[in-house]
Amino acid sequence: MRKVWPLRLKKWLANMCGIVGYTGKDEALPFLIDGLMTLEYRGYDSAGVALLGEKGKIEQIKCKGRVAALAELCKKFDTTPTTGIAHTRWATHGEPSDTNAHPHADCFGTLSVVHNGIIENYQELRAELEAAGHNFKSTTDTEVIAHLVEENLKREAKGDLLLALQLATSRMVGSWAIAVIKVDAPHELYVARSGSPLVLATTDTGAYAASDVTALAGITSHVINLEDGQLAHLSYDATRAKGEQARIEVFESDGALVKKPDTFDIDWDASAATMGGYPDFMAKEIAEQPEAIRRLLKDRLTKEGIRLDELNISPKEIAAIDRIYIVACGTSYHVGLIARTLIETWAKIPVVVEQASEFNYEEVLVTQHTLCVIITQSGETADTLASARKMHAAGAKVLAITNVIGSSAAREADAVVYVQAGPEVSVASTKAYTAQMVASVLLALFLAEKTGMMGPREVENKFEELQRVPDLIEEVLTRAWQDEAATPAFTDAQSALFLGRSFGATTAAEGALKLKEISYLHAEAYPAGEMKHGPIALIDNGFPVVVVCPDDHVRYKTISNIEEVKARGATVITLATDNDQKIAQLSDYLLLVPPAPEYYTPIIGVVHLQMLARFVALARGCDIDKPRNLAKSVTVE
Give per-residue pLDDT as tens, 119-140.
Answer: 989 999 999 999 999 999 998 8
For residue 472, being part of any structural domain is answered with no
For residue 3, being part of any structural domain is answered with no
Q: What's the pLDDT score for residue 10? A: 34
Q: What's the pLDDT score for residue 55? A: 66
- Judged by average pLDDT, the poorest of 8-22, 196-210, 256-270, 573-587 is 8-22
Q: Tell me how far the alpha carbon of residue 197 is from its chain's centroid.
A: 12
As a whole number, mean pLDDT of residues 363-392 equals 87
* 8 Å CB contact between 229 and 253: yes
Residues 222, 361: one domain? no
Q: How far apart are CA 217 and CA 412, in angstroms?
A: 23
Count of domains forming the chain: 3
DSSP-based three-state secondary structure for 175: strand
Segment 589-613, tens digit of pLDDT: 999 999 999 999 999 999 999 999 9
For residue 632, being part of any structural domain is answered with no
Q: How far apart are CA 27 and CA 224, in angstroms?
A: 22
As a whole number, mean pLDDT of residues 240-254 equals 92
Q: Does pLDDT of 632 surpass 60?
A: no
Q: Does pLDDT of 14 surpass 50?
A: no
Q: What's the pLDDT score for residue 9? A: 32
571-577: strand order across its sheet:
522-527, 495-500, 544-548, 571-577, 589-593
Clarify whether 397 is annotated catalytic.
no
**C-alpha dist (Å) from residue 279 to 328, 474, 504, 620, 629:** 30, 19, 30, 16, 22
Smallest CA-to-CA distance from 18 within 214, 187, 191 is with 214
User: Bigger pLDDT: 507 or 529?
Assistant: 507
For residue 266, being part of any structural domain is answered with yes
Residues 439, 530: one domain? no
For residue 400, being part of any structural domain is answered with yes
Confidence of residue 11 (pLDDT cuts 50, 70, 90): very low
As a whole number, mean pLDDT of residues 618-634 equals 79
For residue 398, being part of any structural domain is answered with yes
Segment 157-199, tens digit of pLDDT: 888 999 999 999 999 998 899 999 999 888 999 999 998 889 9
Dump the DSSP string for 31-62: HHHHHHHHHGGG--SEEEEEEE-TTS-EEEEE
Q: What residue spans of 395-526 are helical by DSSP H?
A: 408-412, 431-450, 456-467, 469-477, 480-486, 488-491, 503-519
Q: What's the pLDDT score for residue 368? A: 87
- Judged by average pLDDT, the poorest of 191-195, 246-250, 408-412, 416-420 is 408-412
For residue 10, being part of any structural domain is answered with no
Task: State phi, psi for 219 to the nearest 5 degrees.
Answer: -100, -45
Parent domain of 491: 478-619
Residues 221, 266: one domain? yes
Smallest CA-to-CA distance from 48 within 83, 77, 89, 79 is with 89
Q: Under the phi-then-psi rule, with left for phi > 0, alpha for psi from -120 to 50, and beta for the rest, what region is 631? A: beta
Q: What's the pLDDT score for residue 288? A: 95
Q: Tell me how far the alpha carbon of residue 620 is from its chain's centroid.
A: 25
Q: Does pLDDT of 636 surpass 60?
A: no
Q: Which of 213, 247, 273 is the last residue of a domain?
A: 273
Residues 491, 365: one domain? no
- Within a 10 A sphere around the Cβ of 597, how many other Cβ atoms? 14
As a whole number, mean pLDDT of residues 334-348 equals 97
Q: What's the pLDDT score for residue 195? A: 80
Average pLDDT, the chain: 88
Clarify whether 329 is annotated catalytic.
no
Q: Under the phi-then-psi rule, with left for phi > 0, alpha for psi from -120 to 50, and beta for the rest, what region is 610? A: alpha
Q: Which of 435, 467, 499 is the last residue of a domain?
A: 467
Smallest CA-to-CA distance from 563 within 533, 531, 592 is with 531
Q: What's the pLDDT score for residue 206? A: 94
Task: Please indicate, yes or no, whether the overall pTM of this predicted structure exceeds 0.75.
Answer: yes
Active-site residue, selected from the candidate residues 17, 74, 549, 622: 17
Q: Does pLDDT of 267 surpass 70?
A: no
Q: How far apart are CA 395 and CA 132, in angstroms?
A: 46
Q: What residue spans of 229-381 are helical by DSSP H?
A: 281-287, 289-297, 315-320, 330-346, 356-359
Residues 198, 244: one domain? yes
Confidence of residue 69 (pLDDT cuts 50, 70, 90): confident
Residue 523: give its domain's CATH number: 3.40.50.10490
Residues 198, 249: one domain? yes
Q: Does pLDDT of 91 surpass 80?
A: no
* 8 Å CB contact between 472 and 592: no
Residues 436, 293: one domain? yes
Residue type, 454: M
Residues 454, 517: one domain? no
Q: In the chain, what's the furthest Cα-to-Cα distance?
A: 81
Q: Does pLDDT of 3 surpass 50?
A: no
Segment 434-492, tens digit of pLDDT: 999 999 999 999 999 999 999 999 999 999 999 999 999 999 999 999 999 999 999 88
Residues of the chain with pLDDT > 90: what percent? 60
Active-site residue, selected from the candidate residues 64, 182, 626, 632: 632
Residue 254: give its domain's CATH number: 3.60.20.10
Residues 507, 553: one domain? yes
Contacts of residue 470, defined as CB under 8 A and 6 or more positions apart, other chains included, come to: 289, 290, 291, 293, 294, 297
Q: What's the pLDDT score for residue 486? A: 97
Q: How far apart are CA 149 and CA 167, in angstroms?
A: 8
For residue 317, being part of any structural domain is answered with yes
Residues 313, 404: one domain? yes
Residues 316, 197: one domain? no
As a whole number, mean pLDDT of residues 353-360 equals 90
Residues 493, 553: one domain? yes
As a whole number, mean pLDDT of residues 550-569 equals 94
Q: Does pLDDT of 353 surpass 60?
A: yes
Q: Which of 251, 273, 295 is the last residue of a domain?
A: 273
Dump the DSSP string for 195-239: BS--EEEEETTEEEEESSGGGTTTT-SEEEEPPTT-EEEEEE-TT
Confidence of residue 4 (pLDDT cuts 50, 70, 90): very low
**Local structure of residue 502 (DSSP, 8 states):** T
